[in-house]
Structure 1
Amino acid sequence: ERDMVDAIIALPTDLFYNTGIATYIWLVTNRKDAEDSGKVRLIDATARWAPMRKSLGSKRRELTDADISAVVNLYLDHERDATVKVFAPSDFGFRKVFIERPLRLDVDLRESEPGRFRNASAVDEYCLWMQQQFGTDVADQLKDVTDDVTAHVEDEEGLSLLRATEGAAKADLAAAEKACRRIQSSLLDAEMWAERRALTGLLRSLRTAGKQTEWMDYNVFLEALERHAKAH
């Protein structure tokens, strides 16, 4: 409303550890040049990135010096190309609208391999790795595999590389350590393994009993699962 936004730069995704969300740089000033008054430049830099040789969690991309220079030139020199759009501040008006609707998630009970369902989470993937590495009875030997599991999680989540990187940001290290502790806590929890074993058995039983592998309505799936659990 006060015409203080000079430009908004859209950065590539996967630039930061532990999040792949889109990131934007807002350039704000109360000293706009006359030619920029009443204008907001949008600069699309989402395609300006290079892959990292080694990922750090969700951080898989980086801006090269050439990418940074190109974006800076677009801004400082008022250059125009297909990645630059100019709008009036009034174009960014909005209204709040609240929409309430039932949760609609699909469920697929097919297994690409034993225990790997299509809807598997990151922790599920670690559980499968543990079973492949230490055997299907790994839940009975959690104390014996603690060190190996910890090392694997820290490698996969990028913590080992961060620790070996000189000048690594403390915030990135803290985030990586927190993520690893959360994952390790789940993987080394005997109750979690018991629940996982019971749930996997129940899902397979439901699939076999009903001859159905897919549900397009999550609420219908939950009802079917609850009925099957009570019956068995």
Structure 2
Amino acid sequence: MPPRQSSDASKGKAAVSDVYASMRASILKGEIEPGARINIDAVSRSLGVSQTPVREVLQRLEGDNLVVYSPGRGYSTTPLLGLDELRSLFEFRLLVEPWAARAAAVDRLANPARALEKELAAFRGVMSGGGDLRQDLVAHDTRFHDTILLAAGNPVVQHAFAQTHCHLHTFRLYPADIDGAITIAEHATVRDAIAACQPDRAEEAMAEHIRNSYSRFAQAFEGKADLPPLDSGGPPGRHIVN
């Protein structure tokens, strides 16, 4: 009996993992539209699973801030970031991540250059296969930046950054750099500076990457609002114009 229980538990975990990957991908691709109500029964039938893993997955997606629960209405997908929210998010990143890159560019075992190169090599392998890389790019982007933040050694900053779920929400806006070529080149520049233990260069490379990323994702709002460039030098939430 115990082996069967273990097998059942493994199948249950696999079902949750599969449903999570499927639903998250559908939200990021816009197949489940922003603000759309999620019918648990319909999802369970379309994926061929019971409602139990779907409910568990919805709780995980709520933690990712991709869905929200409203009494009497149930679960629905969260709206896309607005322009002000996008700018505020990237201003926060511009304060935190260049500092983290500088802190990581040290000549000691905490230097994450080897792990970053391994991550870059893995994603280059994925790129060579072609196809729709959005899910892989989100995952790579998250791992790359998280590795640098971890090496910086400040758990408070790590936690604050994680709560933004920035990689998930920016990639919902606009399929910027769809094949990942620009991102991988900018990441390589950051990695090289960290590997060389050059803190000034690492800080500037990361700041440039954040500014460029903001410009790419802000294309979702072109023609709808003025798009002042992102710049450092002020607290999160303040709009800064060069």
TM-score (norm 1): 0.27
- Rg larger in structure: 1
Greater relative CO (CA pairs within 8 A, separation 6+)? 2
More helix by share: 2
Q: Which structure's residues are more often strand, by fraction?
A: 1
TM-score by length of 2: 0.26
